Amino acid sequence: MTRMKIKFFTTGGTIDKVYFDKKSDYQVGKPKIVSILKEMNINFDYDYESLMRKDSIDMTDDDRRLIYNKVLADAHDRIIITHGTDTMAETGTVLKSITGKVIVLTGAIEPAEFKTSDAAFNIGAAIAAVQILHPGVYIAMNGRIYDPDRVQKNRNRNRFEEL
């Protein structure tokens, strides 16, 4: 029996942000996915690839094209993308023409380094979703699974909501 294997692509966003005291600001740091998965005591194989370290507000059409091309060319049929929350739905919509794969985007409202972060919870939801959903593109945030074309981030309430 072949063990399940999930591919993680990281793109940056709040989930990977770190605080720089000397600058008094947050910047996207190294991907946190490996440390999060180690803490979760997972029972599956995975690969990961960092595509960029950007806040999603700064993502361009070229960045989304890179994500699209990497996901399309990848041999894995179960893919999770960690992504900034501000334009996650936009990237999800771009990926919708890819067939034969379950693609789940997730992220965090607070940096993974924060004790109160939703990062591990959202990644856990994405891991469950990528195993049970039919091929397509989904967003896993705030304990729900969304269609990228039917969701928006409510910045006032710090959560995703169905349109």
Predicted pLDDT at 18: 85
> In the chain, pLDDT over 70 holds for what percent of residues?
95
Q: Using the predicted structure, report yes or no on whether residue 1 has a pLDDT greater than 70.
A: no
pLDDT, average across residues 106-134: 96
Q: Find the radius of gyration of the CA atoms of the chain.
A: 15
Decide if 140 contacts 105 (C-beta within 8 A): yes
Q: How far does CA 23 lie from the centroid of its chain?
A: 27
- Residue closest to 98 by CA, chosen among 70, 123, 126, 122: 70
Report the chain's mean pLDDT, rounded to a whole number: 94
Predicted pLDDT at 27: 79
Predicted pLDDT at 21: 58
Q: Using the predicted structure, report yes or no on whether residue 19 has a pLDDT greater than 80.
A: no
DSSP string, 58-104: G--HHHHHHHHHHHHH-S-SEEEEE--SSSHHHHHHHHTT--S-EEE
Give per-residue pLDDT as tens, 43-96.
999 999 999 999 999 999 999 999 999 999 999 999 999 999 999 999 999 999
- The architecture (CATH level 2) of 5-162 comes to 3-Layer(aba) Sandwich (3.40)
- Helix, strand, or coil (residue 24): coil
Decide if 160 contacts 141 (C-beta within 8 A): yes
Predicted pLDDT at 116: 93
Cross-strand partners of 19? 26
Alpha-carbon distance of 138 to 80, in angstroms, equals 10
C-alpha torsion angle, residues 148, 154, 128, 93 (rounded to 10): 10
Q: What pTM, to 2 d.p., does this model score?
A: 0.95
